[in-house]
Amino acid sequence: MKENAVSDIRPFRMYGNLYFVGSSKVSVHVIETSVGLVMIDTGYPDMYEQILSSMEELGLNPKDICAIFHSHGHIDHFGCTQRLKALSGAKTYISRIDNAIVNGTYDWSWAKELGLPRPEPFDCDVFVEDGNCFTFGDTTVRCVLTPGHTEGVLSFFVNVEENGTSIIAAMHGGIGMNSMAAEFLDSYGFSRDCREIFRTGLWKLQQESVDLVMGNHPFQNDTEGKRKRLEMGETSIVDSAEWLRFLAETEAALDQMLQQEQMN
């Protein structure tokens, strides 16, 4: 096995047909449906081998990917999309707004900030609008626009099933304050309004009932801790209080950044 094929978070089944195949740097999730595998985000460009080997370790065939959803148009979430699409023929989904980043209309892929080469432009197949639902066999992916981190961040709500019990797993598609900091916004000439728009999105998501939180990045929902708990024999990582806790912590982080800026 190639060295870069090993993730520092072992791939694992989170719940029933929901799997984690990313790394500590960024999440990649797979939902196994009766019509194929649905992937959420594709990691950094150098994660291709790792994603393939993580999927194979779980008995998931990468060629069975039928759909790839993107939380937003930053390079750490679409880095392997074209190669995975070439391998599987998957249809690719992103918000219309953030497609303008991946197709190169706007140079906001965050590659420059991460010291990575500018990604090759491409267009996704499906431009997702707020509230769109996409059904794959018994599984529906509901997409909610929650802008702020980028203009076109999508949050996802998915029904997943284990032993006949169906729950809702959800991901906020972008909570990083880095792209909402005054310094960053000013350097690009972006409006600072995105911070309050982001807050409105958090409030909108508070209305949702969620049983299991998927992190857009693993540190946002302690993915590794959840994996370890399952490994130690805990039967389930379902926690219906986590979603509101996570949203409250995110809003507190926003307030902290805004207060810090006021003091500077």
Output the furthest CA–CA distance in the chain (Å, rounded): 54
Q: Which of residues 173-232 bind Zn ion (CB under 5 A)?
A: none
Token pair listed for 27: 């999440």
Q: How many residues comprise the chain?
A: 264
Q: Which stretch binds Zn ion (CB under 5 A): 48-56, 68-76, 159-167, 200-208?
A: 68-76
SS3 47: helix
Name which of 62 and 79 has its Cβ closer to Zn ion: 79
CB of 73 to Zn ion, least distance (A): 8
Name which of 70 and 74 has its Cβ closer to Zn ion: 74
CB of 116 to Zn ion, least distance (A): 13
Q: Which stretch binds Zn ion (CB under 5 A): 14-22, 35-43, 71-79, 112-120?
A: 71-79
Q: Which stretch binds Zn ion (CB under 5 A): 11-19, 69-77, 198-206, 243-251?
A: 69-77
- Asked if residues 215 and 223 have their Cβ atoms less than 8 Å apart, the reply is yes
Q: Which stretch binds Zn ion (CB under 5 A): 3-11, 70-78, 127-135, 220-228?
A: 70-78
- Asked if residues 128 and 183 have their Cβ atoms less than 8 Å apart, the reply is no
Distances, alpha carbon 17 to alpha carbons 9, 33, 94, 145, in Å: 18, 7, 22, 25
CB of 225 to Zn ion, least distance (A): 22
Strands laid side by side in the 91-95 sheet: 12-15, 18-20, 29-33, 36-40, 65-69, 91-95, 126-128
Binding residues for Zn ion, how many (CB under 5 A)? Answer: 1
CB of 161 to Zn ion, least distance (A): 30
Name which of 29 and 74 has its Cβ closer to Zn ion: 74
CB of 36 to Zn ion, least distance (A): 27
**Residue for token pair 């190639």:** 2
- Asked if residues 33 and 48 have their Cβ atoms less than 8 Å apart, the reply is no
Name which of 42 and 88 has its Cβ closer to Zn ion: 42
In whole angstroms, give the CA distance from residue 61 to residue 87. Answer: 11
In whole angstroms, give the CA distance from residue 101 to residue 164. Answer: 40
Q: Which of residues 241-260 bind Zn ion (CB under 5 A)?
A: none
Name which of 184 and 203 has its Cβ closer to Zn ion: 184
SS3 75: helix
In whole angstroms, give the CA distance from residue 27 to residue 49. Answer: 15
CB of 234 to Zn ion, least distance (A): 31
Q: Which stretch binds Zn ion (CB under 5 A): 40-48, 67-75, 190-198, 227-235?
A: 67-75
Q: Which of 74, 142, 195, 217 binds Zn ion (CB under 5 A)?
A: 74
Tell me the residue number closest to Zn ion, measured at CB: 74
Name which of 160 and 172 has its Cβ closer to Zn ion: 172
SS3 237: coil
Q: For binding to Zn ion (CB under 5 A), which residues are involved?
A: 74
